[in-house]
Amino acid sequence: MADTSQIKGWYLSLFKDFENHLNGEKSSSFHSVRKQAIDRFAQIDFPDTHQEDWRFTDISPILRHTFSRADKEATAIQTKGQLSRFQFNGMKSRLVTFVNGSYLPELSIQLPLPEGAVIGSLADALKNRNDAVSGHISNDASVGENAFTALNLAFTADGAFVYIPDGTEIEEPLHLLFISTGPGEFISQPRNIIIAGTNSRVRIVEHYVSLDGGTYFTNAVTQIHAGENSSVNLVKIQSESLNAYHIATTDASLSGNASFVSHSLSFGASINRHDLNVGLKGEGSDATLEGLYLLSGNQLSDTHSMIDHVSPHCTSQEHYKGVLDGKSHGVFNGKIMVRKGAQQTNSYQENRNIILSSEAKVDTKPQLEIFADDVKCSHGATVGQLNRESMFYLRSRGISEEQAKLILIYAFASDVLKDIKEEEVRTQLENDLSERFLAPLK
Amino acid sequence: MLEIKNLHASVEEKEILKGIDLKVNAGEVHAIMGPNGSGKSTLANVLAGRPEYRVTSGEALYEGKNLLAMAPEIRAREGVFLAFQYPVELPGVNNTTFLRTALNEARKYRGQPEMSAGAFLALLKKRMQLVEMADTLLSRAVNEGFSGGEKKRNEILQMAVLEPRLAILDETDSGLDIDALRIVANGVNKLRSKDNAVILVTHYQRLLNYIVPDFVHVLYNGKIVRSGGKDLAMELEEKGYDSIKEKEEAASAIQ
């Protein structure tokens, strides 16, 4: 095991510095949560490839950098005027913008809110309702589990805070935009909290982008609580700089008859790791998890999903697809847990990969743990080339073998996007894919 | 236009075509009939260049050129078209973009300028009338979620856009109700000319009421065992394929 004490020392000193800037907030009830987290961080090691959950994902490149905290004011100025690059053409949305992890109201778009609803920053929420937020964060079982989530918790200061009261529908999508920018190597640690009340509906785009392609580190946690009979739709777009690192955990907890639809699209970052944990805690809840990773060069993308069927009569469907070129490496670990009382569970999982070069590789591993006897669970994983029948069909119409390949890769990848509700987001993503794969044909 | 001589072909080491001879001239429509498993679809697919089919001997000359040496896409650009028995669904591939790409590939190959999106759309709308196809199918993915009839109409639409010199229709009538059959047949008839030729592969005589062939060939056990005019199809309709089978089996018993 590599010696990580130095880099741990760096983050511990960074915490001291962070604490010194907190001023009065240091005496809030939430700050004890932070202190517990940094203590935990001090005790545990960064994950390494000896651990089963990190076997294929060597994060040591991240530990070679001493990332610092960004100056909020300085970065705000350079981001102004560049915002439109990251907005979806024609989409009327509630824009909540963060630069290097800090909320910037001047770069955000607020629309009138239904009564009781809150869409804004965690920093404000911590100021105005510290106890409630604090309780909410520390109630979550998996926060602070590994060194990265512990670090995120210790540094919790900002992120998106979304509260949708019972029976409320937010019509316009929420666009949570996380912009990273230099100069300097910064770390952003947003913690996003989304609470959807009973019978509420909300659609969210969680969008990570880079202004200038630098080296930086996003260490994000998103916590979602979907109340009874609520509908939460989340599109996560990871378009970080290719030199950046993106480590993220999404935790979704579903009450009875809640519906959670997630699209997780991973395009950027040198190392991407996404832990997606979904707890089907209330009877009749339903989770749909769609995912796409497009990798080239030396990129590494690792998705660890955990679908936890706690209650009976729940359904889950998971489809993840990967297209790998160059020397890239894809990892998919999909665990489905069906607990003892979770009868009548119906769960389906699929991971399909297309490898375009001889040096790219995929490690895909389904894990089923079933403790109930009346369940329907299936899974499948493929790593391969393109469908021969489709290739012949295209070629029989005069399209060359090379073009046919590109068309089919585009089709394979864009299929993941087809159920994205926001037309403007879908169109933009389709255009991006088309630019990537079909541009040589035009 | 097409001259097939003693063509033998195998799939997964099993010989399916056992010596086909066929000559098709411009302006002619040939029907290839025969019972299931006789090799009709294999012949159609071998001519289009499906990689799984291996030609073991014989030759096929298309406009004097060695057809069998060409890649499938070159055959298409040279004017050979196969309407698939089971058109492939291509989720995520837009129907219009697909067709325009295909047409422009052929145009480039022939040294013609590529067609702009606007000009192409105008052409496409005209061709769609031939197969009475709804506009909505254009914005959809190729064949995805199309009904059986829509898929077959889409094949004929592709044919109408690409204007092949040699069109091979593989069981285009199968699975069609009478209205869809009429529409598809109408489309094909309007595309007939003295410069192009059509090979219709079909199990049933029904299609030939709508697209009247100049020649009918009966394929059995990998060989053409009978050839005749359109009356041959009527005779088969009356007597069924059993009479052909019996005759052939009797003949091989004597040998």
pLDDT over 70 for what percent of chain A?
Answer: 96
Q: According to the model, what pLDDT value does residue B237 have?
A: 81
Q: According to the model, what pLDDT value does residue A145 have?
A: 84
A408·B90 Cβ contact <8 A: yes
Task: Indicate the pLDDT class of residue A82, thresholds 50, 70 and 90.
Answer: confident
Residues of chain B contacting A, Cβ within 8 Å: 48-52, 71-73, 75-77, 81-82, 84, 87-88, 90-93, 98, 101-103, 105-106, 109, 141, 158, 162
Task: Indicate the pLDDT class of residue A75, thresholds 50, 70 and 90.
Answer: low
Contacts of B168 in chain A (CB under 8 A): none
Residue of B nearest to A386 (CA): B90
Q: What is the CA angle B251-B252-B255, rounded to 5?
A: 95
Q: According to the model, what pLDDT value does residue A27 have?
A: 80
Mean pLDDT throughout B172-193?
87
pLDDT (tens digit, 9 = 90+) per residue, A112-135? 999 999 999 999 999 887 777 877
Q: According to the model, what pLDDT value does residue A23 have?
A: 78
Q: According to the model, what pLDDT value does residue A73 have?
A: 66
> Which member of A388, A400, A415 has the closest CB to residue B92?
A415
Residue of A nearest to B51 (CA): A392
Of the candidates A415, A404, A308, A405, which has an alpha carbon nearest to the alpha carbon of residue A352?
A415
A398·B82 Cβ contact <8 A: no
Contact A426, A417 (CB under 8 A): yes
Which residue's structure tokens are 């607990």? A339
Q: According to the model, what pLDDT value does residue A440 have?
A: 56
Who has greater pLDDT, A26 or B14? Answer: B14
pLDDT of A199 strictly over 50: yes
A395·B71 Cβ contact <8 A: yes
Q: According to the model, what pLDDT value does residue A441 have?
A: 53
Contact A407, A438 (CB under 8 A): yes
B49·A395 Cβ contact <8 A: yes
A403·B105 Cβ contact <8 A: yes
pLDDT of A314 strictly over 90: yes
Mean pLDDT throughout B138-158?
90
Average pLDDT of chain A, as a whole number = 92
Separation of alpha carbons A38 and A35, rounded Å:
5
Q: According to the model, what pLDDT value does residue B249 have?
A: 79
Q: Which amino acid is at B145?
A: G
pLDDT (tens digit, 9 = 90+) per residue, A253-287? 999 999 999 999 999 999 999 999 999 999 999 99
> Which member of B84, B91, B103 has the closest CB to residue A415?
B91
Task: Indicate the pLDDT class of residue A439, thresholds 50, 70 and 90.
Answer: low
Find the range with the poorest average confidence among A24-28, A89-93, A176-180: A24-28
pLDDT of B78 strictly over 60: yes
Contacts of B93 in chain A (CB under 8 A): 407-408, 410-411
> Which member of A389, A395, A413 has the closest CB to residue B72?
A395
Q: According to the model, what pLDDT value does residue A142 have?
A: 57
- Beta-bridge partners for B68: none
Of the candidates A278, A272, A262, which has an alpha carbon nearest to the alpha carbon of residue A293?
A272
Which burial class, exposed, middle or buried, applies to B206 when counting CB atoms under 10 A from its CB (0-12, 13-18, 19+)?
A: middle
Q: According to the model, what pLDDT value does residue A1 have?
A: 47
Task: Give, in order, the Cα–Cα distances in Å from A63 to each of A2, A7, A10, A14, A66.
Answer: 10, 6, 10, 14, 7
- Beta-bridge partners for A335: A306, A367
pTM of the model: 0.82
Half-sphere exposure of A46 (CA within 13 A, CB side): 21
Is the complex ipTM higher than 0.90? yes
pLDDT (tens digit, 9 = 90+) per residue, A348-386? 999 999 998 899 999 999 999 999 999 999 999 999 878
The Cα of A408 is separated from the nearest Cα of chain B by a number of Å equal to 7
Mean pLDDT throughout A68-79?
74
pLDDT of A2 strictly over 80: no
Residue of A nearest to B99 (CA): A397
> Which member of A400, A408, A411 has the closest CB to residue B73?
A400
Q: According to the model, what pLDDT value does residue A148 have?
A: 96
Neighbours of B249 (CB within 10 A): 12
Q: According to the model, what pLDDT value does residue B52 have?
A: 92
Neighbours of B69 (CB within 10 A): 12
Decide if A51 touches B, using CB distance below 8 A: no
Half-sphere exposure of A335 (CA within 13 A, CB side): 14
Q: According to the model, what pLDDT value does residue A150 have?
A: 94
Q: Which amino acid is at A427?
A: T
Q: According to the model, what pLDDT value does residue B28 have?
A: 95
Mean pLDDT throughout B55-81?
96
Contacts of B46 in chain A (CB under 8 A): none
Separation of alpha carbons A18 and A158, rounded Å:
13
Neighbours of B141 (CB within 10 A): 21
Neighbours of A379 (CB within 10 A): 15
Q: According to the model, what pLDDT value does residue A380 have?
A: 92
Q: According to the model, what pLDDT value does residue A365 have?
A: 94
Burial B228-246 (b: 16+ CB within 10 A, else e): eebebbebbeeeebeebbe
Task: Indicate the pLDDT class of residue B251, thresholds 50, 70 and 90.
Answer: confident
pLDDT of A3 strictly over 80: no
Decide if A234 touches B, using CB distance below 8 A: no
Task: Give, in order, the Cα–Cα distances in Å from A430 to each of A72, A233, A284, A322, B92.
Answer: 33, 19, 33, 16, 10
